[in-house]
């Protein structure tokens, strides 16, 4: 049962990594504020702590499997638990795929951040946002009497 669940997880992980794309549908209609917001979210994602921790790493799983196998062999239970090494190898493979998936997601996020920066520059968003800020404060300045 554990091997079946491990196999199901390992086939689902590559599909999840392929969902992220650098250029997405609707990018052509993004406004300058939306570009800024998207780049800020990506920057936050890239600066966050990596997930998984120590217990999900390949090294930790390999060490735990090795210790479990050694204990089982010394107690004679190794013959009673067939496939123990295969389970450890499968769990190590899942951890490896998870690490590769996280690396792929980080790379896509980084490339999308650069892409959004290019859109921002290409659309001259600095000028557009400055003009929008100036035009939104201009009516307030006109409404204030100059004698006060």
Q: Long-range contact list for 1-9, CB < 8 A, 24+ apart?
A: 2/87, 3/83, 3/86, 3/87, 3/90, 6/87, 6/90, 6/91, 6/94, 7/90, 9/94
- The rounded average pLDDT for each run of 10 residues, N- to C-terminus, in the chain (148 residues) is 53 48 93 91 73 43 54 59 70 89 92 91 91 77 54
Instruction: State which residues form the domain around 94.
Output: 29-125
- What DSSP element (H or E) covers 32? helix 32-47
Q: Is residue 11 part of a domain?
A: no
Q: Is residue 131 part of a domain?
A: no
20 located within any domain: no
Q: Is residue 62 part of a domain?
A: yes
Is the pTM higher than 0.85? The answer reads: no
Q: For the chain, count helices (H), then strands (E).
A: 5, 0
Number of domains in the chain: 1
- Is 16 within the bounds of a domain? no
d(C-alpha 66, C-alpha 31), whole Å: 54
Q: Report pLDDT for 98.
A: 92
């Amino acid at each position: 049962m554990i091997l079946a669940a491990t196999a199901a997880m390992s086939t689902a992980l590559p599909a999840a990594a392929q969902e992220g794309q650098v250029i997405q549908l609707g990018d052509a209609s993004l406004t300058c504020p939306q570009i800024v917001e998207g780049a800020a979210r990506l920057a936050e994602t890239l600066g966050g702590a990596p997930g998984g921790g120590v217990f999900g790493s390949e090294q930790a799983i390999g060490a735990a499997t090795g210790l479990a196998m050694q204990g089982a062999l010394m107690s004679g239970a190794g013959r009673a638990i067939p496939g123990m090494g295969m389970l450890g190898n499968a769990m190590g493979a899942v951890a490896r795929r998870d690490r590769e998936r996280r690396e792929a997601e980080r790379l896509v996020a980084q490339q999308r951040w650069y892409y959004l920066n290019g859109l921002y520059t290409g659309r001259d968003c600095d000028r557009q946002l400055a003009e929008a800020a100036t035009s939104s404060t201009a009516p307030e300045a006109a409404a204030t009497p100059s004698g006060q």
